Amino acid sequence: EMSGFDNFNTDFYQTSYSIDDQAQHTYDYTNSGDPYNKPYENYDYSQQAGYAAPGMMPPQQAYTGQIYQPAPTFTPASSQSMYGSSFEDEPPLLEELGINFDHIWQKTLTVLHPLKAADGSIMNETDLAGPMVFCLAFGATLLLAGKIQFGYVYGISAIGCLGMYCLLNLMSMTGVSFGCVASVLGYCLLPMIILSSFGVLFSLQGLMGIIITAFIIGWCSLSASKIFISALAMDGQQLLVAYPCALLYGVFALISVF
């Protein structure tokens, strides 16, 4: 069978190449004349820069800290330096809300003394705590007299403040805010509370009642005009400001009398 297979290969392709010729074409891979074929033990590795033998590596610095407790690298500032001041230096809560009892008392005394000079810096503040209290007190005294007029009190107050706000902005050179007008008119409502308190004790529809009512209206309008003049630097215009104030407080007086 083997001889038949050799005959088949010989018959399939005729060539002059034989297996014996492979021994003559072997290559010398250990050619010493090759300049790139140098033994590894003769190569000088120390010529390379920055190279160190594995046994000559510098030892690493040992970790001296504790686990889960790293060394502090940042020292936080104190609470006082971060926030500027401690909680003891903070203003009271009422002062932060704009409720200053000292200023409320000074404004009340200014209204109770119509002939006293008003402090324009204090009166120019937008303080609505005192006016709200005085409006509630005025409505409460009317309620004691059997008159439920809370809606009229707040409605007339809003319309009167809006009218005075427009009028004062036309008359003054500096202008005024709506809150300042509401604050001044609300504080000057204090004498009207006295009138409504008299209405609880006796009737105000007689001659004595008319005199007391006229006096209270003049008191309220004089105090309001004095404060507006000092706060807005409107010298010589007090009577012009007192007239619309008298009309406003006259409406409150009508509620108290009738």
Q: Are 196 and 204 in contact (CB under 8 A)?
A: no
Phi, then psi, of 228 in degrees rounded to 5: -65, -40
Q: Which residues contact 245 (CB under 8 A, 6 or more apart)?
A: 164, 185, 188, 220, 221, 224, 225
CB atoms within 10 A of CB 4: 7
Task: Give me the pLDDT at residue 97, please.
Answer: 67
Distance in angstroms (rounded) separating the CA atoms of residues 145 and 139 = 10
User: What pLDDT sits at residue 23?
Assistant: 47
**Residue 74 CA to its chain's centroid (Å):** 30
pLDDT value at residue 230 = 84
**3-state helix vs strand vs coil in the chain, percent to 5:** 60, 0, 35
Q: What is the pLDDT along the chain (258 residues), one digit of tens a residue?
A: 444 545 545 555 555 555 554 444 444 545 445 555 555 445 555 554 444 455 555 556 655 655 655 555 555 555 444 445 556 667 677 666 667 777 788 888 888 887 877 776 666 677 888 889 999 999 999 999 888 888 888 899 999 999 999 999 998 888 888 988 999 999 999 999 999 999 898 888 889 999 999 999 999 999 999 988 888 878 888 899 999 999 999 999 999 998
Task: Give the pLDDT score at 211.
Answer: 94
To which residue do tokens 């200014």 refer? 110
Relative orientation angle of helices 207-232 and 190-201, to the nearest 10 degrees: 170
Q: What number of CA atoms fall less than 13 Å from residue 32's CA on the CB side?
A: 0
Of 211, 188, 190, the closest CA to residue 257 belongs to 211
Q: What are phi and psi of 58, to 5 degrees?
A: -65, 140
CA distances from 24 to 19, 20, 28, 31, 188 (A): 10, 8, 11, 17, 131
Residues 111, 184 contacting (CB under 8 angstroms): no
Closest CA to 183 of 114, 126, 133, 137: 126
Tokens of 158: 């809003």
| Largest CA-CA distance found in the chain, in angstroms, rounded | 160
Rounded to 5 degrees, φ, ψ at 61 are -75, 135
Residue 140 has φ and ψ, to the nearest 5°, of: -70, -40
Q: Look at residues 117, 127, 143, 103 and name the one whose alpha carbon lies nearest to residue 185.
A: 127
What is the spatial distance between Cα 114 and Cα 222, in angstroms, rounded to a whole number? 6
